[in-house]
């Protein structure tokens, strides 16, 4: 919804209005995450590159993928499971560790901005 509200770009919306993901949606999201590094729509940033606002932060939390969107400085907006949308630093624990947890984890830039 951030891409839609800020840039007018419509990306697939899953679990709209807090509804749980269906099995089909969960499989599709998992495939997107696993293929993000090879996607033409998403550019994997080198680990040394500082994410810019609207870059997507893909994190592996040990049991599932989690996504944040970079905003000013070293902060991201995200929605931890069962909590409200919030702002957190992605360069501090625990989120920094999650960015390095899997080969496909890290920062991605939408190629069509």
Mean pLDDT of the region 5-13: 79
What phi, psi does 48 have (nearest 5°)? -80, -15
Q: How far apart are CA 56 and CA 50, in angstroms?
A: 12
Q: How confident is the model over 3-7, as a mean pLDDT?
A: 85
- Quote the pLDDT of residue 41: 78
* Torsional class of 8: left (φ above 0), alpha (ψ -120 to 50), beta (otherwise): left
Burial (0-12, 13-18, 19+ Cβ within 10 Å), 29: middle
pLDDT on residue 83: 85
Neighbour order of strands in the sheet with 106-110: 42-44, 106-110, 56-60, 65-70, 75-78, 86-89
- Which domains does the chain show, CATH number per domain? 2-110 (3.90.1720)
Q: Examine the pLDDT at 55 and tell me if it is beyond 90.
A: yes
16-51 pLDDT per residue, tens: 555 666 777 667 666 666 665 556 778 889 988 999
The structure's pTM equals 0.78
* CB 43 within 8 Å of CB 109: yes
pLDDT at position 9 is: 82
Q: What is the pLDDT of residues 56-104, one digit of tens each?
A: 999 988 888 888 999 988 999 998 888 889 999 999 999 999 998 888 8
Give the pLDDT of residue 12: 67
Return the pLDDT at 3. Answer: 83
């Amino acid at each position: 919804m951030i891409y839609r509200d800020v840039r007018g770009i419509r990306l697939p919306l899953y679990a709209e209005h807090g509804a749980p993901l269906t099995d089909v949606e969960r499989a599709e999201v998992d495939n997107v995450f696993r293929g993000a590094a090879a996607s033409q729509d998403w550019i994997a940033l080198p680990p040394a590159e500082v994410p810019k606002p609207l870059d997507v932060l893909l994190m592996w939390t040990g049991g599932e993928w989690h996504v944040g969107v970079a905003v000013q400085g070293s902060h991201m907006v995200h929605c931890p499971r069962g909590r409200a949308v919030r702002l957190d630093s992605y360069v501090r624990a625990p989120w920094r560790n999650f960015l390095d947890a899997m080969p496909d984890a890290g920062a991605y830039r939408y190629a069509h901005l």
